[in-house]
Amino acid sequence: MHPHGHNHQPTTGSVLRWSLAATIVFVAIEAFAGFRAHSLALLSDAGHNFTDALALLLAWFGFYLQSKPANEVKTYGYHRAGVLAAFINAVTLLALSAVIFYQSVLRLEHPETVAEDIMLGVAALGLVLNAGIMWALRRAKRHDINIRSAFVHMLGDALGSVGIIAGAIAIQYTGWVRIDPLLSILIGALIVWTAWDIVRESLNILLEGLPRGIRLRDVTHSMKAIEGVLDVHDLHIWSLGSNTHALSCHVLIEDIPPSESDVVLRHLNRMLEDHFHISHTTVQFEHVSCAISENGCAIPVEFDDREHEH
């Protein structure tokens, strides 16, 4: 069974393209303003926004690749392209946070006067931009880790803009310029927090780990509950992409005609699709004769989840 729906592709692709263009323009504005205002927070956020532009570029490219059909070489298609793009995005964010932490420590030791009015105006513009992109990507992110990584980038920037706005107001009323590098540290911590979950999930997919939200024990018990299934073993579940899962296993059934075993197979596939969203299945049947079974065709060996930990 291989159902795939991509009815949101044209909208998502165009959103990624115009979001990329708008982000590149804003990066130039924010970097210029950061130098003019001597604000490390603005420069840090400009660096964050630059990685957002890279994230959107990779997200768009990954989205384009994963929508391509399978061929003689890529027999599963390009589902992993989006996951790889998400992984690269998240790793670049972690590297950026290390630079921000280093520069923030230097600025704390040698504080500089900042132009808080420029900080306030540019941060407000950034908040509007990122909120708009997040709103446009809100639906597509639910089904695609690649789009979700871009959405998380935007969320991090939006929160960073809120922090810069609050910091600019605080500097204006208190005159304490160390607020600026402290804000940079908070932005760096926010970057790490937003990137880590994407790194973990994308790496799990690339290493063919068990998909998030699926328990091997639950799948095994559900398969055994299908009429005609005596046992399940050599069960493996992995993700081809962020929302496309695959399964292979051996299923023990009675020694029955192919027409009857086909009914069992169709019930298994329907259950796996409906309950666990697993659309690619490879099921190998093994047969046992009830006439020679010592336990009345009961399950001969209890499945041990520990043998199949991913």
- At 110, give phi and psi (nearest 5°): -130, 75
What mean pLDDT comes out for the span 254-272?
A: 90
Asked if the structure places residue 1 within a domain, the reply is no
The pLDDT value given to residue 93: 78
Question: In this structure, are 33 and 130 located in the same domain?
Answer: yes
> Tokens standing for 287?
């047969």
End position of a domain, from candidates 206, 233, 267: 206
Question: CA nearest 289: which of 275, 303, 273, 300?
Answer: 300
Question: In this structure, are 202 and 221 located in the same domain?
Answer: no
Question: In this structure, are 198 and 222 located in the same domain?
Answer: no
Full residue range of the structural domain in which residue 24 is found: 9-206
Distance from C-alpha of 117 to C-alpha of 96, rounded to nearest angstrom? 26
* Mean predicted lDDT score pLDDT of the chain: 79
Q: Highest-confidence range of 29-33, 45-49, 163-167, by mean pLDDT? A: 29-33
Question: In this structure, are 222 and 285 located in the same domain?
Answer: yes
Report how far apart, in Å, the C-alpha atoms of 275 and of each of 5, 56, 157, 268, 270 are.
17, 32, 36, 11, 8
238 DSSP β-pair partners = 246
Sorted by sequence, the CB contacts under 8 Å of residue 292 that are 6+ apart come out as none
Question: In this structure, are 201 and 227 located in the same domain?
Answer: no
Pairwise pLDDT comparison (198 vs 76), residue with the higher score: 198
Asked if the structure places residue 239 within a domain, the reply is yes
Q: ∠ CA 124-128-129 to the nearest 5 degrees?
A: 115
> Tokens standing for 166?
């609050």
Asked if the structure places residue 296 within a domain, the reply is yes
> Tokens standing for 130?
């990122």
Asked if the structure places residue 3 within a domain, the reply is no
pLDDT value at 249 more than 90: yes
Asked if the structure places residue 98 within a domain, the reply is yes
In this structure, which amino acid lies at residue 80? R
The pLDDT value given to residue 307: 43
CATH number, position 287? 3.30.70.1350
Lowest mean pLDDT among 14-18, 57-61, 248-252, 253-257: 57-61
The pLDDT value given to residue 267: 95
Question: In this structure, are 192 and 238 located in the same domain?
Answer: no
pTM of the model: 0.62
Question: In this structure, are 130 and 226 located in the same domain?
Answer: no
250 DSSP β-pair partners = 233, 284
Asked if the structure places residue 4 within a domain, the reply is no
In this structure, which amino acid lies at residue 34? G
Question: In this structure, are 222 and 141 located in the same domain?
Answer: no
Q: What is the DSSP string of 200-231?
A: HHHHHHHTTPPPTT--HHHHHHHHHTSTTEEE
End position of a domain, from candidates 162, 180, 206: 206
**Segment 277-309, tens digit of pLDDT:** 898 899 999 987 544 444 444 444 444 444 444
Question: CA nearest 154: which of 168, 171, 164, 141?
Answer: 141
Distance from C-alpha of 139 to C-alpha of 130, rounded to nearest angstrom? 16
Report how far apart, in Å, the C-alpha atoms of 28 and of each of 25, 41, 72, 104, 122 are.
5, 15, 43, 21, 11
End position of a domain, from candidates 145, 180, 206: 206
Placement of tokens 């540019």 in the chain: 122
* Alpha helix stretches (DSSP H) within 116-178: 116-137, 145-174
- At 303, give phi and psi (nearest 5°): -70, 135
Task: Tell me the three state secondary structure of residue 265.
Answer: helix
Asked if the structure places residue 237 within a domain, the reply is yes
pLDDT value at 266 more than 90: yes
Q: What is the DSSP string of 10-44?
A: HHHHHHHHHHHHHHHHHHHHHHHHHHHHT-HHHHH
Sign (positive or negative) of CA dihedral 12, 60, 80, 50: negative
Distance from C-alpha of 286 to C-alpha of 23, rounded to nearest angstrom? 56
Question: In this structure, are 163 and 294 located in the same domain?
Answer: no
Asked if the structure places residue 2 within a domain, the reply is no
Question: In this structure, are 59 and 163 located in the same domain?
Answer: yes
**Could you give the number of structural domains in the chain?**
2
